[in-house]
Amino acid sequence: MSAIRLLVLGAVRQHGRAHGYQVRNDLEYWGAHEWSNAKPGSIYHALKQMAKQGLLHAHEIAPSTAGGPPRTEYEITEKGTAEYLSLLRESLLAHDQKPDVLSAALGFMVDLDREEVLGLLQQRVRTIRQWRAAVTDHYTPEDGPAQLGHIGEIMNFWVHSADAGAEWTQGLIERIRGGAYTFAGEGEPFVGVLTDGQENPYATGQRHPEDTC
């Protein structure tokens, strides 16, 4: 599963009602175009697809107020909200190899409540540790690890990445337990979207390096 559905659902949900360009802009504001496949085509495709599946409700809207072609506004449905929360929980839990999914989930974690997030992250750490044990066990058979030659470096890389992921998750758990951030039901939420007319400080222009992918 790619991160795009989670990102789009979450963005629409924060707005209440949003058209494609707004979603696109939000994702850029979060830097999502740098660490995920949040490109225009994918975003508009996801919106249409999820509208077809009943996760979003599409309002056909007259020609836009600010130039350009007519636009469609979307609103998240009940089914969409259920899917969103399910994706969000799953993404915080899953030890996928896809860092974009975790990144997206981090951006929305405050939509859950603090205790639940702590539980999910702790489970995440446990899963990683189990995975690590199983892998090192499975790939170091009776013949010894030297059998694998340089191929063993692949496993070594993954194990190292998993360790780093577990360590980082542990750090996050401690920050959250220590009272950082504002979670669901804890008062005024942090606003992570651009309100209409607000300028985007991270808009295209001079991005930081790495834009070579």
Q: What residue ranges bind a second copy (CB under 8 A)? A: 1, 30-31, 35, 94-100, 102-103, 106-107, 109-110, 130-131, 134-135, 137-139, 141, 149-151, 153-158, 160-161, 163-165, 168, 171-172, 180-182, 190, 192, 201, 208-210, 212-213
Q: Which tokens hold the place of 27? A: 């994702």
CB 19 within 8 A of CB 72: yes
Full DSSP string of 152-181: HHHHHHHHHHHHHHHHHHHHHHHHHHTT-S
- The one of a second copy, DNA, none whose footprint includes residue 75, by CB under 5 to 8 A per kind, is none
Residues constituting the chain = 213
User: Quick one: which of 34, 35, 49, 57 contacts DNA (CB under 7 A)?
Assistant: 49
Contact criterion met (CB below 8 Å) for 87 and 9: yes
Q: Is 19 in the site for DNA (CB under 7 A)?
A: yes
Binding mask 55-74 vs DNA (x if CB under 7 A, - otherwise)?
A: --------xxxxxxxxxx--
- Residue position matching structure tokens 């191929």: 151
Calculate ∠ Cα 122-26-100, nearest 5°.
40
User: Least CB distance from residue 45 to DNA, whole Å?
Assistant: 4
In angstroms, how far apart are the furthest CA atoms of the chain?
70
| Residue 175 identity | R
Taking CB under 7 A as the binding criterion, the range among 20-28, 116-124, 133-141, 145-153 that sits at the site for DNA is 20-28
Partner touching 137 among DNA, a second copy, none, CB below 5 to 8 Å by kind: a second copy
Residue 122: which of a second copy, DNA, none does it interact with, CB under 5 to 8 A by kind?
A: none
32: Cβ contacts below 8 Å, ≥ 6 apart: 3, 7, 38, 103, 104, 107
Residues that bind DNA (CB under 7 A): 2, 4, 19-22, 25, 37, 39-42, 44-46, 49, 63-72, 203
